[in-house]
Chains A and B, each alone.
Chain A
Amino acid sequence: DTGVSQDPRHKITKRGQNVTFRCDPISEHNRLYWYRQTLGQGPEFLTYFQNEAQLEKSRLLSDRFSAERPKGSFSTLEIQRTEQGDSAMYLCASSRHHSTGGMNTEAFFGQGTRLTVV
């Protein structure tokens, strides 16, 4: 296993189009996270999953954003009707987590998908 994989690495889309990103986490990790990062800022939390269950969704995430992790393995993040403000780096991370003990490994990040909306 070579780590967290994200696809595509870069995406340029026209405003109003839909885009979908994929994240393949480290295989034994039960937690999967999505973050958005703009230039000069830290990653902003979007949502995260424990296995296939979506545990929390940020208020930053409008109804145009949806994320799934159908079989508790890979995840997809879809943005509908993209806007120029959606241009950012979208980062995925995974970790191993105990339900009561919390995170017992660090989060491993993918290289991100850079989205540009023109």
Chain B
Amino acid sequence: SQQGEEDPQALSIQEGENATMNCSYKTSINNLQWYRQNSGRGLVHLILIRSNEREKHSGRLRVTLDTSKKSSSLLITASRAADTASYFCATEVRTTDSWGKLQFGAGTQVVVTP
């Protein structure tokens, strides 16, 4: 079973608009990461936020983390056609003796039209 669930499953916006997607998870985490995947390609890391952090920025990306609600959000500002991709959240969860198992949600498919 997958740890995270992204919402919405699909998002269609126009260039210049902001895109927001959410991720909920179930168990305690060490960190939460967001990845992007272009069709048929490997995943590209976007941003990592640790469990003791609440907000992080990287370029046009803004990530928030609310561990009390077990949720995170990814905001892409001023979207571009090149942002068209699937976006996945992944959580580093604890195994029997250490952290390190990375579990993914089902993803949000984002389409940005010119």
Contacts and interface: CB of A to CB of B under 8 A. Distances in A.
Q: In this complex, which of A42, A48, A91 has the most chain B Cβ atoms within 10 angstroms of its Cβ?
A: A42
Interface size class of B (residues with CB under 8 A): 20 to 34
Interface residues of A, number: 31
Contacts of A101: 99
Sort A-B residue pairs by CB-CB distance and give the 3 closest, nearest first: A102-B99, A106-B45, A42-B104
Interface in B97-113: 98-107
B100 A103 contact: yes
B90 to A, nearest CB: 8
Nearest to B48: A106
Given A103-B30, A106-B33, A43 B99 contact: no
Q: In this complex, which of B2, B40, B43 has the most chain A Cβ atoms within 10 angstroms of its Cβ?
A: B43
Interface in A73-93: 89, 91, 93
